[in-house]
Chain A
Amino acid sequence: MKIALDVMGGDYAPVELLAGAIKWLQENEGQIVLVGDQEIINEELQNHSYNPNRLEIVHASQVIGMDESPAAALRKKKDASIVVASRLVKDGMADAVVSCGSTGAQMAAAIFILGRMEGIERPPIVAAIPGRGGKPTLLIDVGANVDCRPIQLLQFALLGQAYARGVMNLDNPRVGLLNNGEEEGKGNNLSIQTYELLSGQSGLNFIGNVEGRDLFSSRCDVIVCDGFTGNILLKTLEGMVFFLAAGVKEELGAIPATFTRLDYTQIGGAPLLGVNGISVVCHGSSKREAVCNGLNIAADSINNNIVDKQLQELSRLTP
Chain B
Amino acid sequence: MQEFFEQARRILAEQMEIEVERITMDTEFEEIDADSIDIVEMIMALEDIYEVEFPEEDTEDYPTMGSLVTALYEYLQKVKND
Asked if A and B bind, the verdict is yes
Docked pose: A107 CA to B35 CA in angstroms? 13
Interface residues as binary, B17-28 with A (CB distance below 8 Å gives 1, 0 otherwise)? 100000000000
For residue B56, CB closer than 8 A to chain A, the reply is: yes
For residue B71, CB closer than 8 A to chain A, the reply is: no
Judging by beta carbons under 8 Å apart, are B33 and A149 in contact?
A: yes
A-B residue pair count with CB separations less than 8 angstroms: 36
Judging by beta carbons under 8 Å apart, are B56 and A72 in contact?
A: yes
Judging by beta carbons under 8 Å apart, are A111 and B37 in contact?
A: yes
Judging by beta carbons under 8 Å apart, are B17 and A71 in contact?
A: no
Docked pose: A107 CA to B37 CA in angstroms? 10
Docked pose: A74 CA to B37 CA in angstroms? 10
Docked pose: A112 CA to B60 CA in angstroms? 19
For residue A69, CB closer than 8 A to chain B, the reply is: yes
Q: What DSSP secondary structure best describes chain B's contact surface?
A: helix
Query: What is the minimal beta-carbon distance from B67 to any residue of chain A, in angstroms?
Result: 15
For residue B40, CB closer than 8 A to chain A, the reply is: yes
Judging by beta carbons under 8 Å apart, are B58 and A69 in contact?
A: yes
Query: What is the minimal beta-carbon distance from A22 to any residue of chain B, in angstroms?
Result: 35
Contacts of B60 in A (CB 8 A): 69, 72
Which one of B33, B39, B44, B59 lies within 8 Å of A147 (CB-CB)?
A: B33
Docked pose: A124 CA to B46 CA in angstroms? 26
Judging by beta carbons under 8 Å apart, are B44 and A112 in contact?
A: yes
Judging by beta carbons under 8 Å apart, are B36 and A71 in contact?
A: yes
Docked pose: A277 CA to B40 CA in angstroms? 21
Which one of B33, B57, B59 lies within 8 Å of A71 (CB-CB)?
A: B59
Q: What DSSP secondary structure best describes chain A's contact surface?
A: helix
Which one of B17, B33, B44, B58 lies within 8 Å of A72 (CB-CB)?
A: B58
For residue A151, CB closer than 8 A to chain B, the reply is: yes
Which of A144-166 touch B at CB < 8 Å?
147, 149, 151
Which of A112-151 touch B at CB < 8 Å?
112, 122, 147, 149, 151
Docked pose: A25 CA to B35 CA in angstroms? 39
Looking at A69, A107, A122, A147, which has the most chain B CB atoms within 10 Å of its CB?
A69
Judging by beta carbons under 8 Å apart, are A112 and B56 in contact?
A: no
Contacts of A70 in B (CB 8 A): 36-37
Interface residues as binary, B39-71 with A (CB distance below 8 Å gives 1, 0 otherwise)? 111011000000000001111100000000000
Which of A89-128 touch B at CB < 8 Å?
107-108, 111-112, 122
For residue A76, CB closer than 8 A to chain B, the reply is: yes
Docked pose: A147 CA to B38 CA in angstroms? 13
Contacts of B33 in A (CB 8 A): 147, 149
Contacts of B58 in A (CB 8 A): 69, 72
Query: What is the minimal beta-carbon distance from B57 to any residue of chain A, in angstroms?
Result: 8
Judging by beta carbons under 8 Å apart, are A75 and B40 in contact?
A: yes
Query: What is the minimal beta-carbon distance from B78 to any residue of chain A, in angstroms?
Result: 19
Query: What is the minimal beta-carbon distance from A120 to any residue of chain B, in angstroms?
Result: 13
8 A-B pairs in the complex with CB atoms less than 8 angstroms apart = A69-B58, A71-B35, A71-B39, A72-B36, A72-B57, A72-B59, A72-B60, A111-B37
Q: Which residues of B contact A (CB under 8 A)?
A: 17, 33, 35-37, 39-41, 43-44, 56-60
Given contacts A69-B58, A70-B36, A71-B35, 10 further A-B contacts (CB under 8 A): A69-B36, A70-B37, A71-B40, A72-B40, A72-B56, A72-B57, A72-B59, A72-B60, A108-B37, A112-B40
